[in-house]
Structure 1
Amino acid sequence: MTEYERSRTMPALPEHVFDQVANIDQLDTWLPAELHVHAQDLPAVNVHEDRTDEDTPALLRAERDQMRLEWGTREQGNYTGWLQVAGMDTGTSEVTVHLSFFDESHDPGDKAVSDALDRSLERLEQQVRLRVDNAAG
Protein backbone atom coordinates (compact mmCIF):
# COMPACT_ATOMS: atom_id res chain seq x y z
CA MET A 1 0.00 0.00 0.00
CA THR A 2 1.19 3.49 -0.86
CA GLU A 3 -0.12 6.59 0.92
CA TYR A 4 0.12 10.30 0.19
CA GLU A 5 -0.99 13.33 2.19
CA ARG A 6 -0.96 17.08 1.71
CA SER A 7 -2.37 20.02 3.68
CA ARG A 8 -3.05 23.64 2.86
CA THR A 9 -4.45 26.63 4.74
CA MET A 10 -7.61 28.17 3.27
CA PRO A 11 -8.75 31.77 3.80
CA ALA A 12 -12.23 30.98 5.13
CA LEU A 13 -14.16 29.40 7.95
CA PRO A 14 -14.34 25.59 7.80
CA GLU A 15 -18.08 25.60 6.99
CA HIS A 16 -17.46 27.72 3.89
CA VAL A 17 -14.57 25.53 2.77
CA PHE A 18 -16.56 22.35 3.32
CA ASP A 19 -19.52 23.73 1.35
CA GLN A 20 -17.17 24.19 -1.61
CA VAL A 21 -15.55 20.78 -1.15
CA ALA A 22 -18.80 18.83 -0.82
CA ASN A 23 -20.68 20.44 -3.73
CA ILE A 24 -20.72 17.59 -6.22
CA ASP A 25 -21.58 19.96 -9.09
CA GLN A 26 -18.38 21.93 -8.45
CA LEU A 27 -15.87 19.11 -7.91
CA ASP A 28 -14.42 19.71 -11.39
CA THR A 29 -13.37 23.21 -10.31
CA TRP A 30 -10.76 21.85 -7.92
CA LEU A 31 -10.14 18.15 -8.59
CA PRO A 32 -7.27 17.21 -10.90
CA ALA A 33 -8.27 18.34 -14.40
CA GLU A 34 -8.06 14.78 -15.74
CA LEU A 35 -10.70 13.44 -13.28
CA HIS A 36 -14.43 13.95 -13.75
CA VAL A 37 -16.99 12.82 -11.17
CA HIS A 38 -20.52 12.02 -12.33
CA ALA A 39 -23.11 11.47 -9.63
CA GLN A 40 -25.44 8.52 -9.88
CA ASP A 41 -27.45 7.65 -6.80
CA LEU A 42 -25.22 9.09 -4.06
CA PRO A 43 -23.04 7.86 -2.56
CA ALA A 44 -22.51 6.03 -5.89
CA VAL A 45 -20.56 7.99 -8.49
CA ASN A 46 -18.58 7.25 -11.64
CA VAL A 47 -15.12 8.72 -12.05
CA HIS A 48 -13.80 9.26 -15.57
CA GLU A 49 -10.03 9.46 -15.88
CA ASP A 50 -8.76 11.14 -19.05
CA ARG A 51 -5.34 9.48 -18.77
CA THR A 52 -6.80 5.99 -19.18
CA ASP A 53 -10.12 7.04 -20.80
CA GLU A 54 -11.87 4.73 -18.33
CA ASP A 55 -14.85 5.10 -16.05
CA THR A 56 -14.52 3.65 -12.57
CA PRO A 57 -17.46 3.00 -10.22
CA ALA A 58 -16.76 4.75 -6.92
CA LEU A 59 -18.34 5.95 -3.71
CA LEU A 60 -18.33 9.52 -2.41
CA ARG A 61 -19.60 10.47 1.04
CA ALA A 62 -19.77 13.89 2.61
CA GLU A 63 -19.96 13.93 6.41
CA ARG A 64 -20.86 17.55 7.19
CA ASP A 65 -20.87 17.10 10.96
CA GLN A 66 -17.26 15.89 10.72
CA MET A 67 -16.24 18.26 7.88
CA ARG A 68 -14.99 15.20 6.02
CA LEU A 69 -15.28 13.89 2.46
CA GLU A 70 -14.46 10.21 1.83
CA TRP A 71 -14.20 8.32 -1.45
CA GLY A 72 -12.96 5.12 -2.96
CA THR A 73 -13.36 2.61 -5.75
CA ARG A 74 -16.52 0.54 -5.42
CA GLU A 75 -15.77 -2.86 -6.86
CA GLN A 76 -12.01 -3.33 -6.89
CA GLY A 77 -11.07 -1.63 -3.62
CA ASN A 78 -7.84 -0.38 -5.22
CA TYR A 79 -8.00 3.16 -3.96
CA THR A 80 -9.45 5.28 -1.14
CA GLY A 81 -9.08 8.84 0.01
CA TRP A 82 -10.38 11.42 2.38
CA LEU A 83 -10.37 15.18 2.78
CA GLN A 84 -10.67 16.78 6.22
CA VAL A 85 -11.42 20.45 6.90
CA ALA A 86 -10.34 21.79 10.31
CA GLY A 87 -10.95 25.27 11.68
CA MET A 88 -8.06 27.36 12.94
CA ASP A 89 -8.13 30.14 15.55
CA THR A 90 -7.46 32.80 12.92
CA GLY A 91 -10.77 32.33 11.05
CA THR A 92 -9.02 30.24 8.44
CA SER A 93 -9.11 26.50 7.82
CA GLU A 94 -6.67 23.72 7.15
CA VAL A 95 -7.57 21.20 4.47
CA THR A 96 -5.82 17.84 4.51
CA VAL A 97 -6.13 15.31 1.68
CA HIS A 98 -5.03 11.71 2.17
CA LEU A 99 -4.85 9.07 -0.59
CA SER A 100 -4.24 5.32 -0.21
CA PHE A 101 -3.45 3.04 -3.15
CA PHE A 102 -3.85 -0.65 -2.33
CA ASP A 103 -2.89 -1.82 -5.82
CA GLU A 104 0.53 -0.71 -7.09
CA SER A 105 -0.72 -0.72 -10.69
CA HIS A 106 -3.34 1.91 -9.78
CA ASP A 107 -0.73 4.25 -8.18
CA PRO A 108 0.47 6.85 -10.72
CA GLY A 109 3.65 7.43 -8.70
CA ASP A 110 4.97 9.91 -6.15
CA LYS A 111 5.62 12.86 -8.49
CA ALA A 112 2.31 12.57 -10.33
CA VAL A 113 0.27 12.23 -7.13
CA SER A 114 2.17 14.97 -5.28
CA ASP A 115 1.77 17.37 -8.22
CA ALA A 116 -1.94 16.54 -8.52
CA LEU A 117 -2.52 17.06 -4.78
CA ASP A 118 -0.69 20.40 -4.81
CA ARG A 119 -2.60 21.61 -7.90
CA SER A 120 -5.95 20.46 -6.49
CA LEU A 121 -5.42 22.21 -3.17
CA GLU A 122 -4.31 25.35 -4.99
CA ARG A 123 -7.43 25.24 -7.20
CA LEU A 124 -9.60 24.66 -4.13
CA GLU A 125 -8.04 27.68 -2.43
CA GLN A 126 -8.79 29.78 -5.52
CA GLN A 127 -12.43 28.65 -5.47
CA VAL A 128 -12.72 29.38 -1.74
CA ARG A 129 -11.19 32.85 -2.27
CA LEU A 130 -13.68 33.58 -5.07
CA ARG A 131 -16.57 32.54 -2.86
CA VAL A 132 -15.35 34.55 0.14
CA ASP A 133 -14.62 37.62 -2.02
CA ASN A 134 -18.06 37.43 -3.70
CA ALA A 135 -19.82 37.05 -0.35
CA ALA A 136 -17.96 40.04 1.08
CA GLY A 137 -18.40 42.24 -1.97
Structure 2
Amino acid sequence: MAEYERSRTMPAQPEHVFDQAANVSQLDAWLPQALHVDVEDPPAVTVHEDSSGQDMPALLRSEPDQMRLEWGTREQGSYAGWLQVAGIGSGASEVTVHLSFFDEGHDPGEQAVCYALDDSLMRLEEQVRMRTENAAG
Protein backbone atom coordinates (compact mmCIF):
# COMPACT_ATOMS: atom_id res chain seq x y z
CA MET A 1 0.00 0.00 0.00
CA ALA A 2 1.20 3.51 -0.81
CA GLU A 3 -0.02 6.70 0.81
CA TYR A 4 0.50 10.31 -0.25
CA GLU A 5 -0.50 13.59 1.33
CA ARG A 6 -0.12 17.23 0.36
CA SER A 7 -1.36 20.47 1.93
CA ARG A 8 -1.78 24.05 0.81
CA THR A 9 -2.72 27.25 2.61
CA MET A 10 -5.43 29.29 0.90
CA PRO A 11 -6.37 32.91 1.63
CA ALA A 12 -10.10 32.28 2.14
CA GLN A 13 -12.53 31.24 4.83
CA PRO A 14 -12.70 27.44 5.23
CA GLU A 15 -16.42 27.42 4.37
CA HIS A 16 -15.70 29.07 1.01
CA VAL A 17 -12.90 26.63 0.25
CA PHE A 18 -14.98 23.60 1.18
CA ASP A 19 -18.01 24.82 -0.81
CA GLN A 20 -15.84 25.13 -3.91
CA ALA A 21 -14.12 21.77 -3.40
CA ALA A 22 -17.43 19.97 -2.78
CA ASN A 23 -19.28 21.52 -5.73
CA VAL A 24 -19.81 18.36 -7.81
CA SER A 25 -20.61 20.33 -10.97
CA GLN A 26 -17.14 21.92 -10.82
CA LEU A 27 -14.94 19.01 -9.70
CA ASP A 28 -13.20 18.92 -13.09
CA ALA A 29 -11.99 22.48 -12.47
CA TRP A 30 -9.60 21.33 -9.75
CA LEU A 31 -9.20 17.54 -9.93
CA PRO A 32 -6.17 16.14 -11.76
CA GLN A 33 -6.66 17.01 -15.41
CA ALA A 34 -6.74 13.36 -16.52
CA LEU A 35 -9.72 12.56 -14.25
CA HIS A 36 -13.36 13.39 -14.87
CA VAL A 37 -16.22 12.64 -12.49
CA ASP A 38 -19.74 11.81 -13.62
CA VAL A 39 -22.16 12.07 -10.71
CA GLU A 40 -24.83 9.40 -11.04
CA ASP A 41 -26.84 8.77 -7.90
CA PRO A 42 -24.80 10.24 -5.04
CA PRO A 43 -22.73 8.99 -3.44
CA ALA A 44 -22.24 6.82 -6.58
CA VAL A 45 -20.04 8.40 -9.24
CA THR A 46 -18.03 7.20 -12.22
CA VAL A 47 -14.44 8.37 -12.65
CA HIS A 48 -13.07 8.47 -16.20
CA GLU A 49 -9.30 8.31 -16.54
CA ASP A 50 -8.02 9.81 -19.80
CA SER A 51 -4.70 7.95 -19.81
CA SER A 52 -6.31 4.49 -19.65
CA GLY A 53 -9.67 5.39 -21.17
CA GLN A 54 -11.29 3.46 -18.33
CA ASP A 55 -14.40 4.32 -16.37
CA MET A 56 -14.26 3.22 -12.75
CA PRO A 57 -17.25 3.02 -10.39
CA ALA A 58 -16.50 5.09 -7.29
CA LEU A 59 -18.08 6.74 -4.30
CA LEU A 60 -17.89 10.41 -3.31
CA ARG A 61 -19.14 11.55 0.07
CA SER A 62 -19.35 15.08 1.35
CA GLU A 63 -19.37 15.82 5.08
CA PRO A 64 -20.06 19.58 5.21
CA ASP A 65 -20.19 19.72 9.02
CA GLN A 66 -16.63 18.31 9.09
CA MET A 67 -15.52 20.16 5.90
CA ARG A 68 -14.37 16.83 4.49
CA LEU A 69 -14.74 14.97 1.20
CA GLU A 70 -14.06 11.24 0.98
CA TRP A 71 -13.85 9.06 -2.11
CA GLY A 72 -12.77 5.67 -3.31
CA THR A 73 -13.39 2.87 -5.74
CA ARG A 74 -16.65 0.99 -5.29
CA GLU A 75 -15.88 -2.57 -6.28
CA GLN A 76 -12.15 -3.14 -6.57
CA GLY A 77 -11.01 -1.27 -3.47
CA SER A 78 -8.02 0.02 -5.46
CA TYR A 79 -7.76 3.45 -3.90
CA ALA A 80 -9.34 5.86 -1.46
CA GLY A 81 -8.78 9.46 -0.56
CA TRP A 82 -9.97 12.43 1.39
CA LEU A 83 -9.79 16.20 1.37
CA GLN A 84 -9.98 18.14 4.64
CA VAL A 85 -10.38 21.90 5.02
CA ALA A 86 -9.38 23.57 8.29
CA GLY A 87 -9.48 27.22 9.31
CA ILE A 88 -6.12 28.57 10.46
CA GLY A 89 -7.21 32.07 11.48
CA SER A 90 -7.07 35.47 9.81
CA GLY A 91 -9.50 34.32 7.10
CA ALA A 92 -7.14 31.62 5.80
CA SER A 93 -7.52 27.87 5.43
CA GLU A 94 -5.35 24.83 5.10
CA VAL A 95 -6.46 22.15 2.66
CA THR A 96 -5.01 18.66 2.95
CA VAL A 97 -5.49 15.91 0.37
CA HIS A 98 -4.61 12.31 1.17
CA LEU A 99 -4.56 9.33 -1.22
CA SER A 100 -4.15 5.65 -0.39
CA PHE A 101 -3.47 3.12 -3.14
CA PHE A 102 -4.26 -0.44 -2.03
CA ASP A 103 -3.45 -1.96 -5.42
CA GLU A 104 0.09 -1.38 -6.72
CA GLY A 105 -1.25 -1.41 -10.28
CA HIS A 106 -3.18 1.79 -9.63
CA ASP A 107 -0.30 3.66 -7.96
CA PRO A 108 1.32 5.91 -10.57
CA GLY A 109 4.30 6.54 -8.28
CA GLU A 110 5.31 9.20 -5.81
CA GLN A 111 6.51 11.82 -8.29
CA ALA A 112 3.37 11.64 -10.45
CA VAL A 113 0.99 11.60 -7.48
CA CYS A 114 2.67 14.49 -5.66
CA TYR A 115 2.70 16.56 -8.85
CA ALA A 116 -1.00 15.84 -9.43
CA LEU A 117 -1.91 16.68 -5.83
CA ASP A 118 0.09 19.93 -5.86
CA ASP A 119 -1.43 20.90 -9.21
CA SER A 120 -4.95 20.08 -7.98
CA LEU A 121 -4.51 22.15 -4.84
CA MET A 122 -3.19 25.06 -6.90
CA ARG A 123 -6.17 24.82 -9.26
CA LEU A 124 -8.58 24.63 -6.31
CA GLU A 125 -7.01 27.78 -4.89
CA GLU A 126 -7.50 29.52 -8.25
CA GLN A 127 -11.18 28.47 -8.27
CA VAL A 128 -11.64 29.74 -4.70
CA ARG A 129 -9.89 33.01 -5.54
CA MET A 130 -12.09 33.57 -8.63
CA ARG A 131 -15.22 32.82 -6.60
CA THR A 132 -14.33 35.16 -3.73
CA GLU A 133 -13.24 37.94 -6.12
CA ASN A 134 -16.52 37.63 -8.07
CA ALA A 135 -18.54 37.66 -4.85
CA ALA A 136 -16.73 40.78 -3.64
CA GLY A 137 -16.99 42.61 -6.93
> For this structure pair, what is the TM-score category when the shorter chain's length is used for normalisation?
over 0.9
Shift of 1:89: 1.2
1:89 aligns with 2:89: yes
State, as a whole percentage, how many aligned pairs show the same letter: 73
TM-score (norm 1): 0.99
1:74-116 alpha-carbon deviations (Å, 9 max, x no partner)? 0000100000000011111000000000011110011110110
Aligned equivalents of 2:89, 2:59: Cα separation in 1: 33
Shift of 1:10: 0.9
1:42-86 alpha-carbon deviations (Å, 9 max, x no partner)? 000000000100000000000000000000000000100000000
Q: Which residue of 1 aligns with 2:10?
A: 10
Q: Which residue of 1 aligns with 2:119?
A: 119
Where do 1:32-71 residues align within 5 Å?
A: 32-71=32-71
Aligned residues: 137
SS of 2:124's equivalent?
A: helix
Amino acid at match of 2:95: V
1:31 aligns with 2:31: yes
SS of 2:89's equivalent?
A: coil
Q: How much is the aligned-residue C-alpha RMSD, in angstroms?
A: 0.5
Aligned equivalents of 1:60, 1:120: Cα separation in 2: 17
TM-score (norm 2): 0.99
Amino acid at match of 1:102: F
Q: Which residue of 2 aligns with 1:98?
A: 98
Aligned equivalents of 1:10, 1:73: Cα separation in 2: 28
In structure 1, the gaps of 5 or more residues are none
Shift of 1:136: 1.0
Runs of 4+ in 1 over 3 A off after TM superposition: none
In structure 2, the gaps of 5 or more residues are none
Shift of 1:15: 0.5
Aligned equivalents of 2:33, 2:78: Cα separation in 1: 21
Aligned equivalents of 1:43, 1:11: Cα separation in 2: 29
